[in-house]
Chain A
Amino acid sequence: MSKENGNHLQSGLRLKVGLAEMLKGGVIMDVMNVEQARIAEEAGAVAVMALERVPAMIRAEGGVARMANPKLIKEIMGAVTIPVMAKARIGHFAEAQVLQHLGVDFIDESEVLTPADEAHHIDKHAFTTPFVCGARNLGEALRRIAEGAAMIRTKGEAGTGDVVHAVQHMRQITKELRQVTVAREEELYHMAKEHGAPYELVRLVAKTGKLPVPNFSAGGIATPADAALMMQLGAETVFVGSGIFMKERATPLDVEHNAKEREEAVSRARAIVIATTHFNDPKIVAEASEQVTGTMKGLAAAAIEERDQLQTRGW
């Protein structure tokens, strides 16, 4: 595995994928302030995603969602020792340049923010900082990897607390990976065309049976059992966005002033971390679930009109 993930890659990409390797088996948490970042680190998160509004708030409040204020990102970078990620809009390479300048450890070119370009994603090879991108199927994942992404995450439907689309996208990618591995050599050309992905990458995954970069899961994971589900379906790490710090649809738990609500966030964060490590052990997942003192209310993904879905952004 280390071989496919590293040795023949150029050194810049090896370092980028290398950091993604370090995050495996862990939980990456969305945080909106220093206190949340500290809670995440204390709970055992492997990284935090610094942003101004979590997807559930973006969905409820509407408006244009952009890169977070550098001041906030710097505060969070100063508050924790684990890697800090931040989001840039799809195609917004100037936001990505700013994030690289700030020294964030990973940039998420994210459909959760309002896209800045309707045709082009960022040329991620042009950056030293590694990128993670969302994908719903194999073709989309390989297009992002061709552009230089060092990590793929299934998109799911962010900000819902409904895991159904994360499951759908993970199953889609793993199914298509399996199909590619059993294809005959001459069929791979056609498959590359069907998936809209570079032939070389299709040929590579046909040989290895897995993406050449780590494959994480995001979008709707809200409980310890959700995390265990995604890990068993093949995710190598989970992103939890709105699931830890949200109370009602657009109201976060007040972790700064309300001790009870802080404790609730801590209990959720810890439980999801434990369930992610021990995803194969229902006894431990059960114990972790029992410790949770509340779960985000959520929004059934099926009730969202297609035009309001975040996952359809990105091409």
Chain B
Amino acid sequence: MTGKATTIGVLAVQGDYEAHSAAFAELGMATCPVKTVEDLAGVTALVMPGGESTAMLRLLKRSGLDASLREFVRKQPVFATCAGCILLARQVLHPEQESFAALDVTVERNAYGRQNESAICMVETTLPGGDLEAVFIRAPRIQQMGPSVEALAWRDGFPVLVRQGGILAATFHPELASDRRIHQLFLQMVETNLQQNTSNFRA
């Protein structure tokens, strides 16, 4: 497991942050909520949960957390799901929306439709252990990704789980399923980051 120097924060301005905390707790990893600039200064890795990306964006701006977050996501390991993935994307469509542009992907919001089109599917993945159950809720879709981004799972040919340096992002909600492979993977990434702890970690 990860060493003592690791503190995983879960961005808790809005969304299903408790589900992420519970998922990490199952793996024996405690997390702490991040709502302010001070909270963020105390963590070494961050989870950006599902929720409403527009609401999160407004709240982050008003609290001044957006500036420190913009810096954090370029340096430290980050695990983002659904709305979190939208916030990290280089470009957001449908409609266009501001983002931190730390992950080289173009995402389309609510790409599958509204809640009635939400779905639970088995998706193909390169993670050991076979297909993954993925919970898509008013989900975005990754339309394009840059060469430094690696896809780890797909739905209908579109990437739904991607990794770029210290960033792991899903368009679905691993925190709402019982398969913990993705949270486990992030813990490994955090551990690797801790060991390397070099400035060239993020290519």
| A residues neighboring B (CB under 8 Å) | 1-3, 5-7, 11, 14-15, 18-19, 21-26, 41-47, 77, 81-83, 100, 103-106, 128-130, 270, 273-274, 277-278, 281
Tier of interface size on chain B: 35 or more
Contact A2 B115 (CB under 8 A): no
Contact A1 B22 (CB under 8 A): yes
Contact A81 B14 (CB under 8 A): no
Instruction: Tell me if B18 is interfacial: C-beta within 8 Å of chain A.
Output: yes
10 A-B pairs with CB atoms under 8 Å apart are A6-B177, A14-B135, A18-B137, A19-B115, A23-B51, A42-B58, A83-B52, A103-B115, A106-B115, A277-B63
Contact B52 A82 (CB under 8 A): yes
Q: Which of A23, A130, A277 has the most CB of B within 10 A?
A: A277
- Total CB contacts across the A-B interface at under 8 A: 131
| B residues neighboring A (CB under 8 Å) | 12-19, 22-23, 35-36, 50-52, 54-55, 58-59, 62-63, 82-83, 95, 109-110, 113-116, 118-120, 135, 137-138, 173, 175-178
Q: How far is the CA of A5 from the CA of B23 in the complex (A)?
A: 12
In the bound complex, residues from chain A placing their C-beta under 8 Å from that of B23 are: 2
- Quick one: which of B16, B22, B59, B113 contacts A44, CB cutoff 8 A? B59
In the bound complex, residues from chain A placing their C-beta under 8 Å from that of B54 are: 41, 44, 81-82
Contact A23 B52 (CB under 8 A): yes
Contact A19 B137 (CB under 8 A): yes
Min CB distance, A236 to chain B, in Å? 8
Q: How far is the CA of A21 from the CA of B82 in the complex (A)?
A: 13
In the bound complex, residues from chain A placing their C-beta under 8 Å from that of B135 are: 6, 14-15, 18
Of all chain B residues, the one with the shortest Cβ separation from A288 is B62
Given A82-B55, A105-B115: A21 touches B176 (CB 8 Å cut-off)? yes
Contact B176 A277 (CB under 8 A): no
Given A21-B19, A22-B16, A25-B12: A7 touches B178 (CB 8 Å cut-off)? yes
Given A15-B118, A105-B114, A128-B116: A1 touches B35 (CB 8 Å cut-off)? no
